[in-house]
Chain A
Amino acid sequence: MNQRVQRLREESLSAVPHISIERAQLVTEIYREHSGKVSVPVLRALTFAHLMEKKSIHIGEGELIVGERGERPQATPTYPELCCHSLKDLDLINSREKISFQVSDRVREIQAQEIIPYWQGRSMRDHIFNEMSEEWINCYEAGIFTEFMEQRAPGHTVADDKIYRFGMRDFQTQIREQIAKLDFAHDPEAYDKREQLRAMDMCAEALIRFAERHAEKAEQLATVTEDAERRRELLQIAQVCRHVPAHAPRNFWEALQMYWFVHLGVITELNTWDSFCPGRLDQHLWPFYQAGIAEGTLTRDEAKELLQCFWIKFNNQPAPPKVGVTLAESGTYTDFANINVGGLRPDGADGVNEVSFLLLEVIDEMRLLQPSSNIQLSKKNPDRFLRRACEIVRKGWGQPSIFNADAVVQELLRQGKSLADARAGGTSGCVETGAFGKEAYILTGYLNLVKILEITLHNGFDPRTGKQLGPKTGEADQFTSFEDLIAAYKQQLEHFVDIKVQGSNIIDRLYATRMPAPFLSIIIDDCITKGKDYNAGGARYNTNYIQGVGIGTLTDCFSAIKEHVFTTGRLTMAELMQALAADFAGYEQEQRLLSGATPRYGNDLDKADNIMRELFQLFYTTVNGRPTVKGGVYRINMLPTTCHVYFGSVTGATPDGRQAGQPFSEGISPVQGADRHGPTAVIKSASKMDHLMTGGTLLNLKFTPSLLADEAGIKGLMQLVRTYFRLDGHHVQFNVVDAATLRAAQENPEQYRDLIVRVAGYSDYFCNLSRPLQDEIIARTEHQQFYLWQPQR
């Protein structure tokens, strides 16, 4: 890392996240003037153009890649058209201990005077809550599911290679050709299409203007700087910004700046979930790198410096502030841009190239939370690629995570994608599989699989909220067999998934009609050719995901009931229910039996793992294949972000011996501490799930640093990964840290400010995590040298 990069990195890390009100003001201005006078897509395009024309331009000292979402690094805009923060929200955001944003008095005043008066009752959040049924609201408040779109827009898509081949001017040509082809005499949707396409055309123009403004700023700075070297750089920046994004990039620098303008466009237009990401960056940059080196216009060091400057731009953009349940389900500054390295080329060949290794070097040196990074590991990729990644993993801060590229391709093929689209796809957000540049794959919310069991055991009643939320499927002590219980659970699960999907279908329509994303639509196939917005089904592929949370805990609960109530009879159901109602107070013996003598998931025991398969299958068949309003289907994936903590907090004591309020297992990992037979047993258990039926699963493994310290350690890690992937495992990520270190960090956070750990699908500063989440990570089984073996029951 050279001095320039060090300084920029330090600035990015030391800047304090704060609320920028500029965007909210500009959006409000344009809505006041135009809302109701033009079509909705055009209104959104006018908004985007206004932002691109008026928002402040920032070029930091020493920067090579330019452009910020706010006025400066860590300035974070709000999106009042989606979620208009109350003053109480702002005070909370300003004062809370974790994930806070500074809110100045001026910002607070503008929010009160200008923003709230206009947006109250008009934001998407207001529309959504107005339209949701009472039973949906009850379930939401009970913590049965969350709703992603209540504070953020549907996003979750990733760029493919088209922005390196075409500039905005080329897209405008394509758009205008489509407008010219519209047949108003025979196509009843022609008007809608024209409005959408016009909006896209305006957005393309607006992004070009945004870049020009950066060029003007750079030229102006060049006239005042006294540093000749910096003057040369500023003029170079101006030249780059006059070329991209209007035209396709010609070299490595322009390629990175092209992406960055597109990125800013997407995240300024709307506050999309899981930000946006360049996806297969090594593939995209490889031609520019090769050409630059061959022509002598680029050195490896220059490429690395540009990449490092690029990395810092991501870190400058915290995820916009969240409140309430949305904060609880995703409590982090991370906005989930997740760069893919390696994998396959669209023609099926090994995709690892020199840029792949360069990116790994950048990841290693930068050690930043954003962008997150992963390797897409195919059986075709060489071991030296995996080894390099494992060397970074071993350092313990959780990046890069490792994905099975061959499984990802199979998952996409199963979903009906073409082979070339599948190979050009990858994973984003935490672990979600997508056809990059061609798919809207929307996460709709987390589903609390364990809470649904609690409700099943209470005949449809939720003890916490005191409401009858589900159908009456029988009192617990009336079940005469395990199959009875499963049947009741199935009925409850269907009931709650129905409610969730009904809500999502309404929300999808609200976004399709009220909140199109014409800029994002430019770069996602086939929005231009269909003349349809990304939020209305314009993408080639459309998927809505429901993310199941707590499969490990759920499995252990069912396994405990099967073992102790229906097999050995050591407990009656009535006794179990009493113990749960008492939160095990006075029932310690029962708690020990339930947690200690139950065949538990994560130990390679078929007895437990077969229950997991059955429950997984139940969840899969309940959700998978339902149609979405965009012409796609609902599917499942298995990831929690931080929601396993929130869901645990609203769920009472459970039959696996877990006490009320405690977190669940995360992703598809076993319950913290329940896996006692080492990482190979965890991998065997996890691979009994049919990963190829999902759109992503998340497995965490935690190791003590000493186990991986030597050559045998790194090889062991590599072979664990290879074997898991041979078993079609989707993803694995690692924490390499001692529990003692984490406890010390809880005691003395000041000394451990830079301690980074893997949470679930992303890394975060340990000190930024909520206390329950910190405790949950400490409780995860730490794989070390010694285990005590117990024979199979």
Chain B
Amino acid sequence: MQQGVIFNIQRFSIHDGPGIRTTVFLKGCPLNCAWCHNPESQYSLPEIMVRSERCRGCGACLAACNQGKVLIKEGKRQPQRCAACGNCIALCTQGALELVGRPVTTEEVMQEIMKDELFYDQSGGGVSFSGGEPLLQPAFLESLLLASRQQGLHTVVDTCGYAPWEVLARVASLVDLFLYDVKLIDAARHIEYTGQPNQLILENLQRLTRIHGEIEVRVPIIPGVNNDQASLAKLADFLRPLPILGVKLLPYHTFGVAKYAHLGQSYRLPEQLDSAAEAVQFGADYLREAGIALL
């Protein structure tokens, strides 16, 4: 039985593929996007989030820690990580501590997924695997996809594309629909904003289109990062020859900002970007004009 680490299962997920779906969020991501709204998805292992605004500094968590780790100091989550044993959580009287991510077996996940089988039947929905980056746990993902196939479920994989081609190729036949993220075509800026080069991502997408016909490209539109004409033009030039279903633009939002502090991290982009909707509108108009199908 395969095991993996997930940080959430979201039922009634209606914006990650067709119909009513259950989305399984696998923990761990090779990228570190500046705008990421799920920062707790990036680290591959379970970790402790601290809602420091609830902490009253009683110190019960420190006493419980057998490693002597200090996660919270002067009301603030420190950046260090621990083994996330969770001993401290039960002792916190304020409910300030939360364990994010837990190891689970394929069977456990499938049990949760199958609870909404009737909703999938009714709506033409199914299961989606997202993250983090699901391809970062290839054997676990493959076993989940295989088990879903055996149950006759429609499968979606939502990926950033940053994985060895062999991994992508191996699961492709088990996936009904790919949601494939493309952030930036400019290599240098890609490194600047995500921490990794984009060559592998773009090549993987080109190769994937040769063996898979159901690919929806998703582009988060980040004002000041990739919504300028030059970026959009490069994006259009790259996508135009590819046989994809189309492109969906995702508006920038800041719902996840508070979680950075809960993890002892800092948010790199300005917290107030109020032109998100206009940026998406502009991007959509531009790409459509440039011959790209919008979804």
Contacts and interface: CB of A to CB of B under 8 A. Distances in A.
A443 B111 CA distance: 42
B19 A678 contact: no
Contacts of B104: 791
A673 to B, nearest CB: 13
B9 interface: yes
Contacts of A791: 102, 104, 108
A715 B15 CA distance: 11
Contacts of A680: 11-12, 20, 115-116, 119
B19 A719 contact: yes
Interface stretch (A137-145, A267-275, A663-671, A722-730): A722-730
Contacts of B118: 723, 726-727
Given A680-B119, A726-B118, A720 B12 contact: yes
Given A712-B14, A787-B8, A681 B95 contact: no
A678 B10 contact: yes
Contacts of B93: 588-589, 592
B275 interface: no
A716 B10 contact: no
Interface in A541-596: 588-589, 592, 596
A720 B122 CA distance: 9
Interface in B111-140: 111-112, 115-116, 118-119, 122-123, 125
Interface in A747-793: 783, 785-789, 791-792
Contact of A716 (B6, B12, B255): B12
Residue of B14, B20, B95, B112 with most chain A CB atoms under a 10 A cut-off: B14
Contacts of B14: 707, 712-713, 715-716
Contact of A789 (B10, B19, B119): B10
Contacts of A684: 115-116
Contacts of A604: 115
A437 interface: no
B119 A720 contact: yes
Contacts of B125: 719
A146 B104 CA distance: 49
B115 A678 contact: no
Nearest to B123: A719
21 contacts: A679-B12, A680-B12, A712-B14, A716-B123, A719-B19, A719-B119, A719-B122, A719-B125, A720-B20, A723-B20, A723-B119, A723-B122, A723-B123, A726-B118, A726-B122, A783-B12, A786-B10, A787-B10, A788-B8, A789-B6, A789-B10
A607 interface: no
Contacts of B9: 789
- For the residues of B in contact with A, the DSSP-based class is mixed
Nearest to B108: A791
A81 B122 CA distance: 53
Interface in B235-251: none
A785 B23 CA distance: 11
Given A592-B95, A604-B115, A678 B11 contact: yes
B122 A677 contact: no
Interface residues of B, number: 26
B122 A678 contact: no
Given A588-B93, A684-B115, A719-B19, A678 B108 contact: no
Contacts of B15: 712, 785
Nearest to A714: B14
Chain A interface helix/strand/loop/mixed? helix
A681 B115 contact: yes
Task: Identify the 5 closest CB pairs spanning chains A and B, nearest first.
Answer: A719-B123, A789-B9, A716-B14, A678-B12, A678-B11
Interface string A303-346: 00000000000000000000000000000000000000000000
Contacts of B111: 792
Interface of B: 6, 8-12, 14-15, 19-20, 93, 95, 98, 102, 104, 108, 111-112, 115-116, 118-119, 122-123, 125, 255
Interface string A674-689: 0001111100100000
A592 B93 CA distance: 8
A708 B11 CA distance: 15
Output the residue of A589, A681, A722, A789 with the most chain B CB within 10 A: A789
A770 B111 CA distance: 43
A681 B9 CA distance: 12
Contacts of A589: 93
A274 B26 CA distance: 52
A736 to B, nearest CB: 14
A679 B20 CA distance: 11
A684 B116 CA distance: 8
Contacts of B116: 680, 684
A712 B18 CA distance: 8
A787 to B, nearest CB: 5
Contacts of B19: 715, 719
Contacts of A678: 10-12
A681 B95 CA distance: 24
A739 to B, nearest CB: 15
Given A678-B12, A789-B9, A791-B108, 12 more contacts: A588-B93, A678-B10, A680-B20, A680-B115, A712-B14, A715-B19, A715-B123, A719-B20, A723-B122, A787-B11, A788-B8, A791-B102
Contacts of A681: 11, 115
Contacts of B122: 719, 722-723, 726
A783 B95 CA distance: 22
A712 to B, nearest CB: 5
B129 to A, nearest CB: 14
Contacts of B10: 678, 785-787, 789
A715 B14 CA distance: 9
A401 to B, nearest CB: 20
Contacts of A716: 12, 14, 20, 123
A723 B12 CA distance: 12
Most buried by A among B6, B11, B108, B125: B11
B35 to A, nearest CB: 16
A328 B20 CA distance: 40
Nearest to A605: B115
Contacts of A677: 11
Nearest to B14: A716
Interface string A46-72: 000000000000000000000000000
A132 to B, nearest CB: 47
B287 to A, nearest CB: 19
A708 B108 CA distance: 30
Given A596-B95, A712-B15, A789 B115 contact: no
B69 to A, nearest CB: 23
B22 to A, nearest CB: 8
Contacts of A785: 10, 15
Nearest to A677: B11
Q: Which among B9, B12, B93 has the greatest number of chain A C-beta atoms within 10 A?
A: B12
A315 B167 CA distance: 65
Contacts of A720: 12, 20, 119
